[in-house]
A and B are shown apart, each in its own frame.
Chain A
Amino acid sequence: METTSPELLRLEGICHSYGRPGSEVVLAGAGLSLRRGESLALLGPSGCGKSTLLMIAAGLLQPGAGSASLDGQPLLSPDPRIALVQQAYGLFPWKTVHANVLLGLQLRGRRAGPGELEAMLSELGIEGKLDSYPGQLSGGQQQRVALARALLLKPELMLLDEPFGALDSLTRERLQELLLALWRREGFAMLTVTHSLQEAAMLGARILVMDGAPGRIIAEVDNIGAGEAGYRDSDAYIATLAKLRLAIGAAA
């Protein structure tokens, strides 16, 4: 694992509540740090504030208190080095796959290199779908399009919000493997928010366990070997699942 690589993302003492002061506190002193090329999963029940923490990491939300920084610089707005993949895919139903995939580059005044788009789509298994609309695709295909859009941005940090939560388990496993293969090759850092123990154990070489009301991090589980091919069938994977159950049980 890349234990010596420099820090990329740091969230420190994040407190946040939506609406007026005095309203319900979503996050109370949550923090994390992520090194370049590292994979980190944030595991917690629905409503524990993990998606809010991800929005702050994406520069889409300014925390009420605490600080967020990317590469040592304060993170005040969405950064071109960060790509976000949402649970509901975040595709625009009124744009074709082609327009959806290229929009990120277009908005940042960049273009795909020659053959780059075609290679990416064929790797993700959605070649030949360029003229389709998202509504014509299955959930798995839509998530592949969302991944293609994020990957074309060549991000240093990939943020994933329950990325495969809406998919059937076969498609979910296939897409997890695909994402991990891309992660190994492209070398981006990856922060995945999930409520699934299995997904956390597959996608995070380090797993932070969150508890809600108000949201804070209650445990950290090392998951060495995650992301390597065949990890799902290893004893280490089973052991991590047991550790996660223990951590969640201790909080309950």
Chain B
Amino acid sequence: MKLRWEYITAVGGLLVMWWLLYLWLGEQIIAEPRATFTLLWEELGEQKFRAHITASLWRILAGMLVALAAAVPLGLAAGSSPRLDRWLKPVLYLTYPLPKIVFLPLLLMLMGIGNGSKIALIAIILFFHLLATTRDAARAVPPSAVTSLRSLGGGPWQLFVHVYWPATLPALFTSLRIATGTVVAVLFFVETIATTKGIGAYIYNAWSQTNITGMAVGIIVLSLIGILLYELFDLLERRLCRWTGYR
């Protein structure tokens, strides 16, 4: 993460807003900032709290990996093959707008209340984001690039490696960044159901005990997970797609 002045100023601004809200609405609703950071510091020293963080991170990363592994090859294949796309398009258009989160009860029945159903829901929601993006980006690859590679003697596999994959990578990172907010929201939702592990469960638990400071600690950690992911995708894109600065 780049600790630039702009970043520090933004964090400072948010803290001031929090403080003003606390003064306005009172400690029954808004946690006192200093007490929150003190508790956060104490909790970070606790093995039990760190296990909550690990559980959440694992669910997110596993869900993302499953979604990437399923969506990217399918999206690239559909985007580069009009024949396959003819079949995939109606399926995608019918299923993309569905609120996938309502399938959680079904997943719970199918996969039980363990990590599997939670990871599956995150993966399903992300899968559709990534599939739609990768397909569209692959369709937008200029025909001259395909002609060029074929004329140089490249076959279908080389087309994926040298053309479709690098050409769609920037769109993939944009999609991942946009989906980060949704993924963290879904994580919170699945962790409030039938689990004791995870930052979502921690927040839910604090809420049920009207522990306002504990809730705030959980919210901060969940937000930090979101920021961490966002910055991670930003960093990876800058590393892997240096050329996008010169388009």
Contact = CB atoms under 8 A, between A and B. Distances in A.
B237 to A, nearest CB: 12
B144 interface: yes
B152 A107 contact: yes
Given A80-B153, A107-B153, A92 B148 contact: yes
Interface string B138-161: 000010110111111110001000
Given A93-B243, A133-B242, A135-B246, A84 B154 contact: no
Contacts of B167: 94
Q: How large is the interface on A (under 10, 10 to 19, 20 to 34, 35 or more residues)?
A: 20 to 34
Contacts of B162: 92, 95, 103
Contacts of B169: 94
B145 to A, nearest CB: 6
Contacts, number: 66
Contacts of B151: 58, 60, 78, 82-84, 90
Given A78-B151, A86-B148, A104-B152, A94 B142 contact: no
Q: How large is the interface on B (under 10, 10 to 19, 20 to 34, 35 or more residues)?
A: 20 to 34
B243 A60 contact: no
A88 interface: yes
Nearest to B242: A133
Interface string A45-75: 0000000000100101000000000000000
A60 B246 contact: no
Nearest to B158: A107
A91 interface: yes
A168 B232 CA distance: 43
B153 A108 contact: yes
- Where chain A touches its partner, the secondary structure class is loop
A122 interface: no
Contacts of A83: 151
B34 to A, nearest CB: 49
B144 A90 contact: yes
B241 A94 contact: yes
A91 to B, nearest CB: 7
B158 A92 contact: no
B163 interface: yes
B142 A103 contact: no
A136 interface: yes
B241 A90 contact: no
B247 interface: yes
B241 A60 contact: no
A109 to B, nearest CB: 9
Nearest to B246: A135
A86 B162 CA distance: 18
Contacts of A153: 152
Nearest to A58: B151
Interface string B214-247: 0000000000000000000000000001110111
A86 B243 contact: no
A82 to B, nearest CB: 8
B12 interface: no
B105 interface: no
Interface in B41-68: none
B166 interface: yes
19 contacts: A58-B151, A60-B151, A78-B153, A83-B151, A84-B147, A84-B151, A86-B147, A86-B148, A90-B145, A90-B147, A90-B151, A92-B166, A95-B243, A104-B152, A107-B158, A108-B153, A134-B246, A135-B243, A136-B246
Given A90-B147, A94-B241, A107-B158, 18 more contacts: A58-B151, A60-B147, A60-B150, A78-B151, A80-B153, A84-B148, A84-B151, A86-B147, A88-B144, A90-B148, A91-B148, A92-B166, A94-B166, A94-B169, A107-B152, A107-B153, A133-B243, A135-B247
Interface of B: 142, 144-145, 147-154, 158, 162-163, 166-167, 169, 241-243, 245-247
